[in-house]
Structure 1
Amino acid sequence: MMANDISNSKAALADSLNGLLADYYALFLKTKNFHWHVSGPHFRDYHLMLDEQAAEILAITDDVAERVRKNGHRSLTSIGDIVRRQTITDNDADAVDANAMLKELREDNLTIVARLREAKALAGEAGDNATDGIIDDWTDQAEKRAWFLAESLG
């Protein structure tokens, strides 16, 4: 592969990772929103699960941003940057049923999985073995969150 092709591949990977980072922040805030507002007979279980998931999601953000920087590009810089890049939709509803919360978060985590698979392919094209490898861990975590949410549905 020519140097220009690798440079373009790394730029495409950085763009993909920044989009993924925006979705992680959107998912983090939505998960915390639902954590704060969940109610019903399974309150304690859902409240704790969502808090655990939010912490896991937030912990990943630094790693994603650092992969962008290690490839020589800039990571997200602001809330506006997140809004421009996120594909996960916000939920500003005054009230959301607990099961609807879990279903929505499950779908959002599956969106993360799809974006991770796209980024993994780009990492391979860019010859970025480190990003390619760590994406497997991030994918496993997102699939586990989606599974827990699905299994918790009433």
Structure 2
Amino acid sequence: MGDNSKKALVESLNTLLADTFALYIKTKNFHWHVKGPNFRDLHLLFDEQAAEIFALTDLIAERVRKNGADTLTSLGAIVRKSQVADQDSTGLDAAAMVKELIGDNETYLAALRAAKAAAGEAGDNATEGQSDDWTDQCERRIWFLKQTVA
């Protein structure tokens, strides 16, 4: 495993970690602020998805550490690295929330695939294997969200 491929893997994992935190916060935000006729179903779905996303933070951070590097250390570091845009509005309607989370999970899916590719390049079989599970979870989240607006 070359230094460049390992650096690329760590960079990819730290970006994924930032996106994980940002997606968690946004999903939890929508859990707290959703309203309308589908309130109960979406409130529960968003909470379930937020918990699933949050559970990934430690797994991803540990992959960074096991590769001999440092993880993100602050909210500022998360903001600088994340590809998931903030959403500060508490007035979005439920459909807009779902559509935004679909897009954000699709962005996250791309980051997962980039991390898997970087792991393959670096010869990190453990990260490459775990990313398959993380990808499956993300694809499931997207599927569930899409079914609510179909």
Same fold (TM over 0.5): yes
Give structure 2 stretches of 5+ with no counterpart.
Answer: none
* Aligned partner letter, 2:35: S
The answer to whether the aligner puts 1:83 opposite 2:72 as a matched pair is: no
1:93 to 89, 96, 106: 89
How far is the alpha carbon of 1:21 from its aligned partner?
A: 0.5
Gap regions ≥5 residues in structure 1: none
**1:68 corresponding residue in structure 2:** 64
| Distance in 2 between residues matched to 1:30 and 1:118, nearest whole Å | 22
Match of 2:101 in 1: 105
Q: How many residues align?
A: 150
Percent identity of the aligned residues?
63
**Counterparts of residues 1-154 of structure 1 (less than 5 Å):** 6-153=2-149
1-side partners of 2:131 and 2:78: how far apart? 20
When normalised by structure 1's length, the TM-score is 0.95
CA shift, 1:8, in A, is 1.6
2 CA distance for matches of 1:78 and 1:35? Answer: 24
Superposition TM-score, scaled by structure 2 size: 0.98
The letter of the residue matching 2:78 is I
> Aligned Cα RMSD in Å?
0.9
Q: Deviations over 1:49-103 (max 9, x none)?
A: 0000000000001000000000000011000000110011010113001000001
Q: Where do 4+ consecutive residues of structure 1 move more than 3 Å? A: none
How far does residue 48 in structure 1 lie from its aligned partner after superposition?
0.3
